[in-house]
Amino acid sequence: MLLYSCSKGNGSDSGNGNPTTSACDNISKTWSTDVSPLISSFCNQPGCHSTGSSNGPGALTSYAQVFAARNQVRDAVQSGRMPQNATLSADQKNKIICWIDNGAPNN
């Protein structure tokens, strides 16, 4: 009698010993180049999260404000609740989410 079983891998791809890549490994994720322009274009708008806003986490006009609200921003972007008047592409969503998941550095 021969028994054969499968088991969950150890993080290698195809058994060749190379670690699999994370969903964020190939995503550009800098505040100044990738995330800030998206926040400015989609969030920092009158009636949304501009100066003086009390919507959700409030104004998102600076790195410090976005950093303080990063968990709310991540949840809203990932769920598609935000931005309300536009749709982010998968690439745009990934840039924001991966930047936050990487510690939201001011780079």
Residues forming a β-bridge with 19: 12
Q: For every one of its 107 residues, what pLDDT tens digit does the chain have, with 9 covering 90 and above?
A: 433 333 333 333 444 443 344 678 888 789 999 999 999 999 988 989 999 999 999 999 999 999 999 999 999 999 999 998 899 999 999 999 999 999 999 99
The residue whose two tokens read 């409030």 is 58
| pLDDT tens, position by position, 63-83 | 999 999 999 999 999 999 999
> What's the pTM?
0.77
